[in-house]
Amino acid sequence: MGKLTGKTPLSTVFSCCRPCRTIIGFLLIGLMILSCSGYPVRGDRPRGVYHRVKSGETLLSIARAYRVDLQELAEINNINSPDRIEVDSVIFIPDANQVLDDVMTAARPQPSPSAPGAVQKPKKTPKVVLKTEIPEKKVAAEPEKRQEQPPADVTVKDRAAFSRAAERDAPPPRTIVKPETEKTADQPVIPKEKGGKTEQLRFEKKRFAWPVKGKVVSHFGIQPNRMYYNGIRIAAGEGTAVQATADGLVIFSAPLKDYGETIIIRHEDQYATVYSHLGIRTVRGESRVKKGDRIAFLGKGEDQEEPYLHFEIRYKNKARNPLFFLP
């Protein structure tokens, strides 16, 4: 290959070793998937604050007060029901800078500021318009009406009595009532209230299967020692078979620093699963697997008191709580 110098291109270094390029490519993919998360890869102290629950507070009100997604808050704290949190319990709030003393006030929706210069128009009350039709005075009298006029030789007293009788017999003026059946254009329309539904947590219990039969000894998210884990630990006997939790493509199968023997499977809908601290891997990279296929056997590391599987579920390269997906 010749003498290597500082200017020798990498393509020349690996030109004679295609398997080396393949292994390095898988290693880079695995490191990218394990590192592209909003939280530390290994157990570490995450960024955020710890809130002590007061009387009357719910997980939903706490999420609204701190402007945090309810689903994320529940998964990090391993809470299956947003209404079942105990007073004086401590909840971790990710990415928060300070603890809020009055959650109920902060959780109330803020009224949207009105546009500058906008003037509210007073509400108009419906009006009833009365119109009175006054009979028009006829210019020419009809011939038969002339006979009703008093004779010229009657007295003034008789003429006045005759006029009063004519007014009494005349039909009364018609009164027309105009109802307002249509709303005017400037009249405000008050929307009806819609029945609001309480925000619910999302579970997908049928998407994945358990990778190994055993006991969960470490949960996702915040631990009692206030450290953060990206997955769960399932303790089982050494040599226990590890299965693929769903159909997918093996995109990584190799040893990984701090994780030991590791397998990463890519699934549909941008999901991926991570299996680490394995003993023996039985699948290679770029292999297609079905749900339930055996992919490895559980082993025991030098620093492990008992064999366990470290298992992660990731969505768009972000760690999710596996217990929200496993049946």
Averaged pLDDT, 95-119: 75
**Mean pLDDT in residue range 69-90:** 89
In a domain, 218, yes or no: yes
Q: For residue 318, report the phi and psi dihedrals to the nearest 5 degrees.
A: -115, 130
The confidence score (pLDDT) of residue 109 equals: 78
Residue 11 has pLDDT above 50, yes or no: no
| Residues 22, 77 within the same domain | no
Whether 30 and 80 map to the same domain: the answer is: no
**What CA–CA distance (Å, rounded) separates 41 from 225?**
17
Of 66, 91, 108, the one marking the end of a domain is: 108
Query: Domain range spanning residue 303?
Result: 8-37+202-327
Domain count along the chain: 2
Contact of 245 with 209, CB cutoff 8 Å: yes
- Mean pLDDT over 191-216 rounds to 76
Q: Residues 136, 140, 143, 144: what is their CA dihedral angle, to the nearest 10 degrees?
A: 10
**What b-and-e string marks burial along 108-134, b requiring 16 or more CB atoms within 10 Å of the CB?**
eeeeeeeeeeeeeeeeeeeeeeeeeee
Write the CATH number for 261.
Answer: 2.70.70.10
Q: Please indicate, yes or no, if residue 143 is contained in any of the structural domains.
A: no
Same domain, yes or no, for 15 and 56? Answer: no
Q: Are residues 239 and 327 in the same domain?
A: yes
Is the domain of 247 the same as that of 294?
Answer: yes
Percentage of the chain with pLDDT > 90? Answer: 46
Same domain for 15 and 93, yes or no, is no
| Shared-domain flag, residues 14 and 67 | no
Q: Domain check: are 91 and 33 in the same one? A: no
Q: What angle do CA 73, 243, 33 make, to 5 degrees?
A: 50
**Does 49 lie in the same domain as 25?**
no
What's the token pair of residue 290?
Answer: 């079905």
Residue 327 has pLDDT above 50, yes or no: yes
Residues with Cβ < 8 Å from 271, sequence gap 6 or more?
Answer: 207, 246, 313, 314, 315
pTM for this model (two decimals): 0.62
Give tens-digit pLDDT for 135-177: 555 545 555 545 555 555 555 555 555 556 555 655 555 544 4
- Same domain membership, residue 221 and residue 324: yes
- Residue 150 placed within a domain: no
pLDDT at 82: 74
> What is the three-class DSSP state of 266?
strand
